Structure 1
Amino acid sequence: MIPKINSLGRSFAGAAAYCLHDSPTPDDRSPETSERVAWADTRNLATFRPERAARLMAATAKAAPDLKRLAGGSPGGPKLAKPVLHYSLSWAQDETPDRREMSRAVDGSLEVLGLDGHEALVVAHDDTRHPHVHVVANRVDPETGKAAKLGNSKRATGARVRREGLQPGRARRARGPRDEERVDMEAWRRAEAEAWETVAGGRERGLQHLESRARKEWAELLKRQEEMRQRLDRESRTVLGRLRIWRLDRSLRELAGAIRGREDLVEGWREDLDRYHRDERAELGKAHGERAREIERRGHKFYRSRLVDAERNAWAVRETMREREQTRARERERCQTITRIVVPPPPRPRGPERGGGGFER
């Protein structure tokens, strides 16, 4: 499955209209038909009617200052310019996920993005050869009024959900055996289908296990990084805390700045920490990708070995059939030879038996 962040926008109505109706055309920029919509659902909304989701999410985004005040926070700060997050999840052409599987994938992606408690509209389309689902999410938290930060979560979403771009069916052998004239093609096709079914099942189980493990590892990493950011913020407020950070950095030039609490120095520490966290996320995503590729390589190796066995068995079947055909041919030839044997005529009678009298003396 491959996720794609389509856009950050301002209009919930525009994003919902695009998802809940057919694709716009040059002649009809706002189609009213909805033939490509397979199903639609909502998340954390007071209505189950998808057509009302856009108005409710827009109202939540507009009421963000009031929500902040009710939650005990400060209603100040700049207004969120783009509260709309629109992204999609796509599957390969030979995959057939049902609604339940798509919904689980949507819930998992919202959780990784930090939007599992936010309002969202989910719409599945069936107008393309590959199954896909669109998600329109509200970045404003309906309880606190705060906007979700997506910068650190896009990489996690890709590493956890998209399975590093691997698509089942891509490795399946399209051509037949090396010498089709020497093997029984029916036996080969049957063995090849059984081999691919075994490989596809094992691959799917391996990737599901990898996704479960990756979900846990990403959650632990993001939690640890958030704790480190909070600790840096707390430590940077006191002289002793800044000195502890300085002791870790081992930089004498920053000692005076750490004591005075220079803001540019603290910001530099935050940037260094963010850079370190980005490297950590990149390493974890790379590790998950390598594990997924290893699963794919093992599947390819097993599939190739099964194809060799399938071709050998199909050749044996063909040879057995050929031997049987030759035996039947020899049997038919022997029967034809027996029927062609000419039975000799009886001996001609002699003496009186030839129609004359007795023997002459």
Structure 2
Amino acid sequence: MIPKINGLGRSFAGVAAYCLHDAPEPDDRSPETSERVAWTDTRNLATIRPERAARLMAATAKAAPDLKRRAGGARGGRKLAKPVLHYSLSRAREETPTRQEMSQAVDGSLEALGMEGHEALIVAHDDTRHPHVQVIANRVDPETGKAAKLGNSKLRLSRWAEGYGREQGRIRCERRVTNNERRRTGAEVLRPIWDRALAGGAGRRGPGPGGPGRGLARGSRPVPQGRAGRAGQGARRQRPADRAEGARDVPKGAA
């Protein structure tokens, strides 16, 4: 299982439109077709219709001050600028998970983030060799109006994915296990230089199944984790969750 945080955003409608339609092409930036969508589902919403789910999540985010007041909390505080959390869960190429298995994985990932009670829209895609689902979650708690705390979200998803692999009886990403063990012991986690270039935008070939930087040579020396992400963050391409509103700051990506 490979979890990847795609970004935070302002527009539920924008990221939902991206997930619910086919991938944009150079000659069609807003396709109306939905051939890559295998199925959709929702969590903690009074609808299973994806377009309505996006509208309801936007309404919940807007009502955050009133929800806080009704829950007995303070109504003040800054307005949550980016209530949308967008991430994906991908399986190995040779795997053929059922819808139930993918849904259970989504539930586990939401629990790992402390968002099991939050609203979410799930969109399964079958346009790549890797079975995967897109998860659009509302950071605003529908009961308390408080925003989910997403500190160390990448690390939390990485540890969850490791545990998920162990439950399935097969570890497919040994590097993840090694890195998580180093984190547990307080050791420095090293990243190969091709990851640094990916984070900084070097060696891009454009979007695709492998993402930016696919052509970088392997076997290069490792570099300490975190340096490249900060150095190259401004060069990252804009994520779907922010595209509708023009925002540019995106949290660090794949777990």
For normalisation by structure 2, the TM-score amounts to 0.66
Is the partner of 1:144 in helix, strand or coil? Answer: coil
Query: 1:282 Cα deviation (Å)?
Result: 2.5
What is the one-letter code of the residue matched to 2:50?
P
Please provide the CA RMSD for this pair: 2.8
What is the one-letter code of the residue matched to 1:61?
A
Query: 1:82 Cα deviation (Å)?
Result: 0.7
What is the one-letter code of the residue matched to 2:183?
A
Aligned counterpart, 2:99: 99
Q: Superposition pairs for residues 108-123 of structure 1, below 5 Å? A: 108-123=108-123
Query: 1:163 Cα deviation (Å)?
Result: 6.0
Larger Rg: 1
Structure-2 separation of matches of 1:281 and 1:60:
40
Structure-1 separation of matches of 2:118 and 2:186:
26
Aligned counterpart, 2:24: 24
Conservation of the 8 A alpha-carbon contact between 1:22 and 1:36: yes
Structure-1 separation of matches of 2:186 and 2:34:
38
Structure-2 separation of matches of 1:113 and 1:10:
19
Q: Superposition pairs for residues 175-254 of structure 1, below 5 Å? A: 204-205=168-169
Conservation of the 8 A alpha-carbon contact between 1:2 and 1:162: no
1:58 equivalent in alignment to 2:58: yes
Q: Superposition pairs for residues 1-361 of structure 1, below 5 Å? A: 1-162=1-162, 204-205=168-169, 282-283=183-184
Q: Deviations over 1:276-309 (max 9, x none)?
A: xxx99920799xxxxxxxxxxxxxxxxxxxxxxx
Structure-1 separation of matches of 2:53 and 2:5:
20
Query: 1:152 Cα deviation (Å)?
Result: 3.1
Structure-1 separation of matches of 2:33 and 2:42:
20
Query: 1:159 Cα deviation (Å)?
Result: 1.5
Is the partner of 1:4 in helix, strand or coil? Answer: strand
Structure-1 separation of matches of 2:181 and 2:143:
31
**Matched residue pairs, number?**
181
Consecutive unaligned residues of structure 2, counting only runs of 5 or more, are 172-176, 188-255
Structure-1 separation of matches of 2:181 and 2:71:
33
- Is the alpha carbon distance of 1:87 and 1:112 closer, same or farther for their aligned partners in structure 2, counting shifts above 3 Å? same
Conservation of the 8 A alpha-carbon contact between 1:155 and 1:281: no
Structure-2 separation of matches of 1:71 and 1:205:
42
What is the one-letter code of the residue matched to 2:100?
R
- Is the alpha carbon distance of 1:86 and 1:281 closer, same or farther for their aligned partners in structure 2, counting shifts above 3 Å? farther
What is the one-letter code of the residue matched to 2:51?
E
Query: 1:204 Cα deviation (Å)?
Result: 4.1
- Is the alpha carbon distance of 1:131 and 1:280 closer, same or farther for their aligned partners in structure 2, counting shifts above 3 Å? closer
Conservation of the 8 A alpha-carbon contact between 1:3 and 1:90: yes
Structure-2 separation of matches of 1:75 and 1:159:
35
- Is the alpha carbon distance of 1:284 and 1:114 closer, same or farther for their aligned partners in structure 2, counting shifts above 3 Å? farther
Conservation of the 8 A alpha-carbon contact between 1:120 and 1:137: yes
What is the one-letter code of the residue matched to 2:184?
E
Structure-2 separation of matches of 1:69 and 1:281:
43
Q: Percent identity?
A: 75
Runs of 4+ in 1 over 4 A off after TM superposition: none
What is the one-letter code of the residue matched to 2:4?
K
What is the one-letter code of the residue matched to 1:108?
G
What is the one-letter code of the residue matched to 1:160?
W
Query: 1:26 Cα deviation (Å)?
Result: 1.9
Conservation of the 8 A alpha-carbon contact between 1:45 and 1:120: yes
Structure-2 separation of matches of 1:115 and 1:84:
12
Conservation of the 8 A alpha-carbon contact between 1:114 and 1:153: no
**Greater RCO, CA 8 A, separation 6+:** 2
Structure-2 separation of matches of 1:69 and 1:21:
37
